[in-house]
Structure 1
């Protein structure tokens, strides 16, 4: 079997789909994308095609090493996201060629279903009590919300009080037994994180995510010492080498690799295993489309330390199209009582409606994240 072509489509709301074709008629799909930089990743995938055309797609590890080590410059969000989508598609091909789901190729499942969570509140969190009740009524046992809108590096304590009040509203709405994850989104700088992390403790967060920006992870041990709830991070880390120092420093309780940003399933599995050696939990980041979600679930199904999975059905970013729209059969990704059952179909276990992909690619997208400014005109972290 040889790779004959790589085809990419930019599709709404903000995704890039990749199809890898072979000379034996077996094809695989993946999502190589960085939100807001989809065209750049698309160009990187095209450049990688020089290495891929003519290769046996079943030699996934060797191809991964070729793509990663074959260039003098490596790593980072663009290159690792391009590799990630390619890697997803290669696992899809191999599973389809052998007639088995990907998790069977990776050692077999350790669970029969995966706990899921959803988003509420939007970019600038609001109306969280009502939305929290709605998602719990749908069967979810956990949800995630942004903790704050934009914050200055040193801001007023009133902003901290506002953030705490929103979390209190959510907790009051759902009671003590529902998991509430709070995403700082890198918006909270070290001086304010020190205050806000402790103010949130009475509400027993499921976890707090990205309490500081990735470039300031060295501050986590001092910021989080003594906290009585877990700290999560990792969506903007792109390899096991990026995760190693935060695990060695014992400053994270949950790792959140994104399988469309960290080199795909091949690398994410190594990150999950590395985390397991430190008794750290796994909760893959996934605000993307159906292929990233399916790949994330296969990692969850083989990873003992996986405990919950993000998904983006109905998220505020999904304007125009949603996660299940691109599938010929949405049932494999159906969430029932807050869980998704074991994927059983060959490959990644979801079938893309290629005709619909081509139709929506005619519209495409140029999605960009908002550019926020503080009252004084300076750039704010989104």
Structure 2
């Protein structure tokens, strides 16, 4: 019987954690288990799962391992545990695909498409210069973009703040025309009262979707927001299991779900989430402002999910300045973008070759943390 024999964890710039999982027959699988800003915490969770359970086990029993890692500790769910499970799950699928010499998507039923549409970020955290940046990205061949709607917002903010958001989106729409899709990310910065106002104000410019209009703990407000707009509503980057998605699917308020393959339990769980969403006629656009292993994992599920509509990717994203998703790959052309699409990886496992030497040489104590913003009165603002 093949056994899992060893592992290494590497914190690498700009804010990622890579897992290298080894087997007794020499196969290596890679995963990306990380919560941005909590790499050390997730690292400890991965070590606990591997040291106390997975070492010595058969890597082929992925579903059994997933269930044990999730249910075996009594306390379950949440970003840290689910991200640790996600990265391990990715590595197990990478091993299984390499063992059978085929891409993971072939083991999941075979591909339902040949390539995947992607979108490109523009404008930064506090959005500015978005029209020029959008024009440049369209000239590079992207057909879909995403931008933040606002900087920090008060619970009840001024008409000028709403107007500024409208003006930014109007400028981007004018710059790129009607053939380009524009996602607008509220980033959980917006209260439900302001979300209604913003959704109404932005609707004339036909966003592809408005993302995370409220924080997940306020998902009960989504039906009311949906009543104020015909713009598709997207959410899910801070939801970690099929049970988290169940409520928004059942109440019919969400049009696009955005599970993260490094946060929501990996390939095993997101495939199930995608299947649930398909039953409710809800599209999927996986969240992925992360590294190449996470993106490769996303594409394996995108390949087999008929309702996958577009894929986030981190090339040039403002969070990852100085390092991009290609830096740690032996063959970066696997993620070449052509006319706003990326071809599905054809290699075995996740379809990428991680350059172990580059990863080892780059390993460091990752100390990335998101900024903490404050309102003018000194109170903490949502980032």
Please classify the TM superposition score into its range, dividing by the shorter chain length.
Answer: over 0.9
Matched, 1:128 2:107: no
Q: TM-score w.r.t. structure 1 length?
A: 0.99
2:318 counterpart SS class: coil
Question: Corresponding residue for 1:379?
Answer: 380
Matched, 1:176 2:178: yes
Matched, 1:245 2:279: no
> How far did residue 177 of structure 1 move?
1.5
Q: Distance in 1 between matches of 2:85 and 2:204?
A: 42
* Structure 1 residue ranges (4+ consecutive) displaced by more than 6 angstroms after TM superposition: none
Deviations 1:227-253 (A, max 9, x none): 222100000000000000000000100
Q: Distance in 2 between matches of 1:46 and 1:256?
A: 27
> How far did residue 176 of structure 1 move?
1.2
Determine if contact 2:199/2:231 at 8 Å carries over to the other structure. no
1:232 counterpart SS class: strand
Determine if contact 1:100/1:345 at 8 Å carries over to the other structure. yes
> How far did residue 108 of structure 1 move?
0.2
Aligned partner (choices 203, 206, 222) of residue 204 of structure 1:
206
2:56 counterpart SS class: coil
> How far did residue 320 of structure 1 move?
3.0
1:69-218 aligned within 5 A: 69-218=71-220
> How far did residue 226 of structure 1 move?
5.0
Deviations 1:116-154 (A, max 9, x none): 101000000000110000100111110000000000111
Question: Corresponding residue for 1:37?
Answer: 38
Q: CA RMSD in A?
A: 0.7
Unaligned runs of 5+ in 1: none
Question: Corresponding residue for 1:21?
Answer: 22
Deviations 1:280-308 (A, max 9, x none): 00100000000000000111110000110
Q: Distance in 1 between matches of 2:33 and 2:91?
A: 10
Q: Distance in 2 between matches of 1:193 and 1:339?
A: 31
Deviations 1:137-185 (A, max 9, x none): 1111100000000001111111111111110110010011110000000
Question: Corresponding residue for 1:369?
Answer: 370
2:359 counterpart SS class: helix
Determine if contact 2:152/2:189 at 8 Å carries over to the other structure. yes
Q: TM-score w.r.t. structure 2 length?
A: 0.99
> How far did residue 188 of structure 1 move?
0.6
